Amino acid sequence: MEFIGKINQISSYLIIFIVSLLTVLRLYIGNFFPYWYLLTNQLDELLLINNAHLGQYFANWNIHSLSKTISYSLFLKFVNVIGLPYGFVLSLVWILGGILIVYAVYNYLTKNKIILALIYLFIIFLPCGMDLFISGRVYRNAAIAPFLILFLSSLFIFMNKVISEDSSNRSLLIWGILLGIIFTFNYYLKEDGVGILILFLASIFLVLILNLGPVVKNKSFNVKKYYKIIVISIIPIFIFVGCTFAYSEVNHEKFGVYDINTRTEGELGEFFHNLLLIDDKNNSDIYWVTYSTIDKAWNASPTLQSRPDLFNNWVHSGWAQGNLKENKLNGDTNAWSLRDALAASGLYADEKSTSDFFHKVNAELNDAFKNGDLNKSDKIFISKYAVGRSVGEIFDLKDLFFLLLKTSILYKDLGRDIQKCNVDIMLPSLTFGENNQVKDVESFLHMNIFTKSEYSQDNFEWNFAKASIHFYQLISIIIVIISVISFILTGINLILNRFKSKNLSLVFLFEILLLGTFAVQLFGLCWFSSFLGYCEYTRAYSSNCQAIFATFEVLAIAGIISIIEKKGIHNILKN
């Protein structure tokens, strides 16, 4: 027995050594990764980087200040304040996500050291954290997956603590506040946080239902204790609501409107939605708003007619090479060109005046819909900021859906060299080190930005990242099959045992929520981004799906291992 004890001790030290070594390697790779951004892209990378200069952001606002949410800019500001390189801090977030999910598995599923080490390494080297277009680009897509894993892990921990009989009020309060803060940050990383909001609320509702077990089983039920559970369970929701209220108040004080962003929300967002609602045979799932649609809106709104300069600046903008009638703009591009047209027409004095102007316009368009001056599209809409689709057009998304499904679970087409990316504007506009703007970014984020020429050179960090992505691509199908089988076996085991185990029931039901959220997010991505096709951008947008499915895989496999440890492998399907 003493010999076996020594063997276990040696194996523990070996695992710690390997995990520590690979953690240091992950930090090194992240710190010296070939980061880049599109130099000419004023409305993506540079917008969020400029917004991170909070003093300038609030003092020198413009028409684009509220076009995107603030979380990623706050993260960049945090990087600037603590003085550590951007890539190093981003890697720390990945490592923290790995630690948190291991903490969750260790406390509620299995304490197997090898399994825990593999889970940790699986998370911190996920391909979306190694891909040059997702994590290499200094843009918010790089932060979505690691922060989402932090949220999903903290949500799972909080749910387990709420249903546990042993959790202290202090522990519940701390995790509730932490979860609320992490969720709020995730929700405002992008403008499409409704998917994780549904998961968040459904998970809170789930733990409340699971705590009603004694009622279902006709056992004694402590009403006072249940009220306490309700209060504790909604703490994260209160944190989210409170942070949102504070966010709105800051925007009202600094910009004059309560809107979180004025691209997908507020009166300007409503105006774009009304344009999408107009029935126009010239529009399609690629060209959402065409010249004829804008012309119809102008004819229906006296307020718009009072500003012919806005019409001219919009339909003759540089976005459409001076002629929108001949050069249609795909997707939501017209929403961006509208903002520039407003600025060029002198209509943007501040957010308040712009909001008041479009409040009148929207009222007139709504009246036009009601009295028949404008015909409303009969297509299906799932979002105010996305094009409507017919049933046939929805089925047409299947090819893109399955391609992005392969990217999300099998990491298809990730790890491509920058020269092989199918984006025409990328190579000519990659950052150049001698540019003063780049130097400012490097100074602000304590990092090095790679130039176009440097991508032709051998780079150990990128070569390692490509190798790790290729390894994941090789083993991904095996992990997917094991996790799906584990999920099914867990469900059968619970059914045979009539869901007696509250903890295991929570794990299984949470996995169902993860799969549902994964499908909804992937479907929403296809709906919104089909005008781009299957490309680097859509694959980058799928990083949230990759994080959700990876979390599912971890919990599904760890869940079945916990059953095996308790009942033995031959008794999984026995009562």
Q: Are residues 213 and 346 in the same domain?
A: no
pLDDT score of 1 = 52
CA 69/CA 73 separation, integer angstroms: 8
Residue 146 lies in a domain: yes
CA 507/CA 334 separation, integer angstroms: 44
Residue 79 lies in a domain: yes
Q: Are residues 279 and 425 in the same domain?
A: no
Of all residues in the chain, what percent carry a pLDDT higher than 70? 90
Does residue 189 contact residue 147 with C-beta atoms inside 8 Å? Answer: yes
Q: Are residues 217 and 283 in the same domain?
A: no
Whether residue 574 is predicted with pLDDT greater than 70 in this model: the reply is: no
Residue-wise pLDDT tens digits, 492-523: 999 988 888 888 999 999 999 999 999 999 99
Last residue of a domain, one of 312, 346, 371: 371
| Per-position b or e across 179-217, b if 16+ CB within 10 A of its CB | bbbbbbbbbbbbbbbebbeebbeebbebbbebbeeeeee
Give the bridge partners for 376, in sequence order.
278
Whether residue 401 is predicted with pLDDT greater than 90 in this model: the reply is: yes
Whether residue 528 is predicted with pLDDT greater than 70 in this model: the reply is: yes
Residue-wise pLDDT tens digits, 2-17: 555 566 677 788 899 9
Residue 468 lies in a domain: no
Other C-beta atoms closer than 10 Å to the C-beta of 548 total: 28
pLDDT score of 425 = 44
Number of domains in the chain: 2
Last residue of a domain, one of 314, 349, 371: 371
Whether residue 394 is predicted with pLDDT greater than 70 in this model: the reply is: yes
CA 470/CA 125 separation, integer angstroms: 12
Residue 302 lies in a domain: yes
Q: Are residues 418 and 350 in the same domain?
A: no
Banded pLDDT at 456 (limits 50, 70, 90):
low
C-alpha dist (Å) from residue 554 to 204, 468, 476, 514, 543 = 21, 18, 13, 12, 17
Of all residues in the chain, what percent carry a pLDDT higher than 90? 65
Residue 450 lies in a domain: no
pLDDT score of 229 = 82
| Per-position b or e across 94-107, b if 16+ CB within 10 A of its CB | bbbbbbbbbebbbe
Q: Are residues 248 and 279 in the same domain?
A: no
Residue 457 lies in a domain: no
CA 124/CA 92 separation, integer angstroms: 9
Residue 381 lies in a domain: no
Q: How many residues does the chain have?
A: 575
Residue-wise pLDDT tens digits, 264-288: 889 999 999 999 999 999 999 999 9
Which of the residue ranges 54-63, 105-114, 230-239, 243-252 would you say has the lowest mean pLDDT? Answer: 54-63
Last residue of a domain, one of 371, 398, 432: 371
Residue 305 lies in a domain: yes
Q: Are residues 271 and 145 in the same domain?
A: no
Q: Are residues 160 and 89 in the same domain?
A: yes
- Provide the residue range defining the domain that includes 48: 1-257+406-441+474-573
CA 57/CA 575 separation, integer angstroms: 62
Tokens of 93: 């977030």
Q: Are residues 110 and 205 in the same domain?
A: yes
Q: Are residues 365 and 506 in the same domain?
A: no
Q: Are residues 210 and 339 in the same domain?
A: no
pLDDT averaged over every residue in the chain: 89
What global pTM score does this model have?
0.93
Whether residue 217 is predicted with pLDDT greater than 60 in this model: the reply is: no
Q: Are residues 239 and 93 in the same domain?
A: yes
Tokens of 204: 């809170």
Which of the residue ranges 111-120, 158-167, 240-249 would you say has the lowest mean pLDDT? Answer: 158-167
Q: Are residues 309 and 272 in the same domain?
A: yes
